[in-house]
A and B are shown apart, each in its own frame.
Chain A
Amino acid sequence: MNTLIAIVIGALAAGGVYCLLRRSLMKLIIGIALLSQSVNLIVFSAGGLKPASPPIIESDQQILQGNYADPLPQALVLTAIVIGFGLIAFSLALIHQTYRATGHDDIQSLKNTDT
């Protein structure tokens, strides 16, 4: 399971970086989305992957006992997903506006403010 999730994170990050390096604006946004998903998975797996061990206190206990899945990273990742979703939505609106203003989907055409 750990190996699999590591491969998935790596593949998502690699795909994200590949898309980031393309010339198209749209692909850049897709790259950022992939990269943030891979980071979400890093945070998600930060608490350790423990299947079938919910963090529920037994009825005769006062505190959590034994081997349980850490619920905190899941709460964190939920927050991160929501934030990421908002940012991606904003970026899409921004490239739509940029496309309307410049008529290009090409990053090379966005050089006017550099010099």
Chain B
Amino acid sequence: MMNNLVILPIFVPFICAVLCLIFRSTNAQRFLSLSGGVGATLAAGLLLQIVHQENHLVLHLGGWSAPFGIVLVADLFSSIMVLISSIMGILVTVYSLRDIDERRKKLYYFPLFNFLIMGVNGAFLTGDIFNLYVWFEVMLIASFVLLALGGERRQLEGAFKYVAINLVSSALFLAGAGLLYAKVGTLNMADIALKLSDQPDSILINSTATLFLIAFGVKAALFPFFFWLPASYHTPPTAVSAIFAGLLTKVGVYALIRSFTLFFNENFAVAQDLLLGLAALTMITGVLGAAAKYDIRKILSFHIVSQIGYMIMGLALHTSLALAATVFYIIHHIIVKTNLFLIGGIVEKLKGTGDLSKLGGLYKALPWLAVLFFIPAFSLGGIPPLSGFWAKFGLIKASLEIETYWIAGIALVVGIMTLFSMTKIWVEAFWKKEPQALLNHKTQKNLKLLYAPAIIMAAMTIYLGLFGQSVFGLAERTAEQLLNPSLYIEAVLEIEL
């Protein structure tokens, strides 16, 4: 019975979305979305608590036993991801209550948002490779519509690029899954891992690994597949940007980590140098791109790219500490990046622009907003004692332990350059004198609902920084699970290895 809990983080947003389609009044949709968000978060929290004790929770959908039917699997990694994405879901829902205009709310904003959360949670929880493809598509189609919703010209442009590249990457993923099925004759991820571990040879493993790397790399915005992200993430309303920035690329990272630790664990050495190189290039191009931009959301978009590099670096190092640091990094990054987008959105709401050359004087006018920005920005830059410091510290320590000094050097330099970009926003938007042109922009009142989620996320960042030990302990246990795929296989297939 308890196993049924696994499906709740998918089921609750689904019910919510359907009810939102039926009850069209904005008030009903607000109420449904908020209560659905709370429900999904509670379910995800309970799930993590149970998985924390039992290590794995497996649901055989429709009662079909393991390799034949679709399974949903919650291990520590997926439960952590589901919990954090559900929390982001509810916080961004609160933000959207004020941020999203009435027209977009009437155009099914809330149902789409819930479908997006459902797709993300589904992708985290599924234990079946074709099912993963389906969840990707659920997530993508919802994100396509959210991105284009409203139909402003720049939104359509951004959406077009996003849609085109993602359709190609989905096709590649499906081709990889097809080739994998031809090779092993099963779709169950645990069963695939079991069968691949007997066949270390095989060009098909490598071709599938390459196709998966490209397909998930596009979704994760890995170098050289990242260009769609800075071209599209700054175009929709802030709430949409924020949830995309927090969750969507991390689904790609999750899929990369899952497939490379589960399927290609035996042959990891082949991929290691490639992944390390890609991680380094992702970090550098992202941070350089950000340095060249002069708009808050564009800078932040490029920083998503460079932060993805850190996560892939942890995967590529493939030690216990590195994977633990990656998991911690993902948690830290989702909170901080979503928060930065939300705060950037507040600045845009207040001043009517995100262009740094036109902003200024915010520290004098709104010191609390400045403090609020300061926390996630400097956490992203890796200043102790905020969460980003511990995440970067773990990664760099891991790379020094296995004597991969060059990547540690790159990670440190990129960290400093991240700080440079954050300081740029700080100086331009908050510190310098306000340019005359904007003084007549009439400030909107009643932005409390915009501040509330940002404050909560900032508190989470501080907590992760000051009391990070408990979370890091969880991340270490997650890394142990990821490095021992036999535990996953045993739990899903109910066999002894």
Residues on A lying within 8 angstroms of B by beta carbon are 20, 25, 28, 32, 35-36, 39-40, 42-43, 45-48, 70, 72-73, 76, 79-80, 83, 86-87, 90-91, 94-95, 97-98, 101-102, 110, 112-114
Contact = CB atoms under 8 A, between A and B. Distances in A.
Given A43-B177, A80-B174, 19 more contacts: A36-B170, A36-B171, A39-B175, A46-B181, A48-B182, A72-B181, A76-B130, A79-B134, A83-B134, A83-B137, A86-B141, A94-B148, A94-B159, A98-B157, A101-B151, A101-B153, A112-B154, A114-B230, A114-B231
A114 to B, nearest CB: 5
Contact of A102 (B141, B153, B163, B164): B153
B178 interface: yes
Query: Does more than half of chain B's interface fall in helix, strand or loop, or is it mixed?
Result: helix
A73 B178 contact: yes
Nearest to B130: A76
Contacts of A39: 171-172, 174-175, 178
B354 to A, nearest CB: 13
Contact of B182 (A20, A35, A47, A87): A47
A95 B163 CA distance: 10
A114 B302 CA distance: 12
A91 B141 CA distance: 10
B431 interface: no
Contacts of B177: 43
B50 to A, nearest CB: 31
B393 interface: no
Interface of B: 130, 133-134, 137, 140-141, 144-145, 148, 151, 153-154, 156-161, 163-164, 167-168, 170-172, 174-175, 177-179, 181-182, 185, 187, 230-232, 234-235
A34 to B, nearest CB: 10
B160 A98 contact: yes
Given A32-B168, A32-B171, A113 B232 contact: yes
Contact of B156 (A36, A46, A98): A98
A46 B186 CA distance: 11
A42 B140 CA distance: 22
Q: Enumerate the 4 nearest inter-chain pairs by beta-carbon distance, A residue then B residue, closest first.
A: A43-B178, A46-B182, A46-B178, A42-B178
Contacts of A94: 144, 148, 156, 159-160, 163
B167 A87 contact: yes
B160 A36 contact: no
23 contacts: A20-B164, A35-B168, A35-B171, A39-B171, A42-B179, A45-B182, A46-B178, A76-B178, A86-B141, A87-B137, A90-B144, A90-B163, A94-B159, A94-B163, A97-B151, A98-B156, A101-B153, A101-B156, A102-B157, A110-B161, A113-B158, A113-B232, A114-B230
A62 B118 CA distance: 39
B189 to A, nearest CB: 15
A80 B136 CA distance: 12
A80 B170 CA distance: 10
B174 A90 contact: no
Contacts of A76: 130, 178, 181, 187
Contacts of B154: 112-113
Contacts of B156: 94, 97-98, 101-102
Contacts of A20: 164, 168
B171 A95 contact: no
A113 B154 CA distance: 6
A98 B148 CA distance: 10
